[in-house]
Amino acid sequence: MKAATLDHPELAATFTSDNERTHWHDQALWFVRAKRDRAASSIPEWEYLRELASKVKQHTIANLPELLEKFEQEATRLGARVHWARTAEEHNQIVLQLLREHHATHVVKSKSMLTEECHLNPFLERNGIEVIDTDLGERIVQLRHEPPSHIVLPAIHIKKEEVGTTFHEHLGTPAGLADPQALTEAARVHLRERFLDAEVGITGANFAVAETGGIVVCTNEGNADLGAVLPNVHIVCVGIEKLVPRLQDLAVYTRLLARSATGQPITAYTSHFHGPRPGGKLEIVLVDNGRSTLRDDEEFRDALHCIRCGACMNTCPVYRRSGGHSYQSTVPGPIGSVLSPKQAPASHQSLPFACSLCGSCTDVCPVKIPLHHQLLALRRQLADTHHVAASKRWSMSMCAWLMSYPRLFSGVGALARWSLAHLPRFVLYGRHNSWGRARELPDPPSTSFRAWYAAHRGHPSRPRPERSH
């Protein structure tokens, strides 16, 4: 069966049709990006930390099999059980089997992009398990039957008035309530009951330490801690790339993570779990789901360095203006535009083109993933494997041929300048021109740069050609 193609431009057009929301979303994320910049500039050794974090990740991915075995050995020594899942389906079956083993029907779950990636919630619900997301943003989107739109700020696309409507419908809060503090209090009361009723708590993990067998979970709400310690059983679902070799390496990432994500010096809760609590059980599920395949790809394996801070999304001009749901991917934004097409190129072939190649994502990445270079390389790879529309391939081939003949290119340039200056607007920006629907070309210059340079060679101070009006 042919995979459905998810077209980012069409989905983005739906989001941008609400002009007010588009600007609000853009400004909200840029506010977070600005906080990140202030936090980074307060650390004199910031660039050294980024370089060190990148090198440690390179070492980790290069030695991943040995480090995973070391982690299993140490986690088992501490009393945890370690399970291995090659695919999302295996992960879901393992979790379901563990829940049945412990006779659990009510589960609380903290924010976990891995379980989102594996579509764990709907799988468990189909098998009679009630799953309650306990992160506030995650609970909001769960009540609205929506996926998260951001990996750190899952409900960033929703206004407080809409949250009030959702809570009125599902939690019985007063109609019209939009005060954030009151809404948070209502959510706290609602979730505390679920924590006390749950038989199992499921969390993700920000890091797993091979040297100690420990799991580290970073949150700002403390919900992961409640889910891990109130029920007798704690299930941790973690991707194999989340490993760090030694405990001392962890300090590098905890200094980078919160500052890159939200501009905080550190998350409010950085919780370490070394084995089960007394009388409890700790089950750790290590998940591959395509990560080993990506590790074998020399050009793109650096994408496995990602620590899921979301900084690339907060800075990306395309993500900020098109919304996370337009990516139709568990991880949206620049890093998702690498990960999703690598895993499912037929479905996500448009994502590498949802990029201006400005390089801002690479500049802010705390582990120095060369994201815009990877996106450019991925465009070429998708074109070579015919996952790009034929019309786009032909137009790019035509441009390449045209640029191979300087005189022809110069003639076409002159024709283009004349057309932009004299043809009616409806001809240039009509319905036939899908590229022009969201773009406005500047006024053309009176002559080409090549002609100007030939006439003024040796006189760089002379003015450049004026724009025609």
Q: What is the mean pLDDT of residues 181-197?
A: 96
Q: What is the mean pLDDT of residues 283-287?
A: 98
Query: Over the stretch 93-150, which tens digit does the pLDDT of each residue have?
Result: 999 999 999 999 999 999 999 999 999 999 999 999 999 999 999 999 999 999 999 9
Structure tokens of 14?
Answer: 């739906």
Residue 168 phi, psi (nearest 5): -65, -40
Percentage above 70 pLDDT, the chain: 96
What is the structure's pLDDT at 296? Answer: 96
CB atoms within 10 A of CB 56: 20
430, pLDDT greater than 80: no
Tell me the domain boundaries of the chain.
Answer: 43-158+199-293, 310-390, 405-469
Please tell me the distance from the alpha carbon of residue 241 to that of residue 261, in angstroms, as a whole number. 19
What is the structure's pLDDT at 4? Answer: 58
Strands 214-219 and 200-203 turn out to be unpaired
Q: What residues are paired with 235 via a beta bridge?
A: 202, 283
| Dihedral angle sign, alpha carbons of residues 195, 200, 206, 207 | positive
What is the structure's pLDDT at 466? Answer: 63
464, pLDDT greater than 70: no
Angle between helix 136-143 and helix 180-197 axes, rounded to 10 deg? 90
357, pLDDT greater than 50: yes
Output the pTM of the full model. Answer: 0.89
Helix (H, G, I), strand (E, B) or coil at 157: coil
CATH 1.10.287.110 fits 43-158+199-293, yes or no: no
Query: Over the stretch 323-347, which tens digit does the pLDDT of each residue have?
Result: 999 999 999 999 999 999 999 999 9
What is the structure's pLDDT at 1? Answer: 39
Which is nearest to 261 in space by CA: 186, 329, 194, 311? 311
What is the structure's pLDDT at 443? Answer: 85
453, pLDDT greater than 80: yes
Which is nearest to 223 in space by CA: 198, 258, 252, 255? 198
Which band of pLDDT confidence, cut at 50, 70 and 90, is reported for residue 458?
A: low
Please tell me the distance from the alpha carbon of residue 37 to that of residue 43, in angstroms, as a whole number. 10
Mean pLDDT of the chain: 93
Please tell me the distance from the alpha carbon of residue 2 to that of residue 439, in angstroms, as a whole number. 33
Which band of pLDDT confidence, cut at 50, 70 and 90, is reported for residue 85?
A: very high
456, pLDDT greater than 90: no
Which band of pLDDT confidence, cut at 50, 70 and 90, is reported for residue 299?
A: very high
Spatial neighbors of 53 by CB under 8 A, at least 6 apart, are: 252, 253, 256, 305, 307, 366, 367, 368
Cα three-residue angle 358-362-364, rounded to 5 degrees: 105
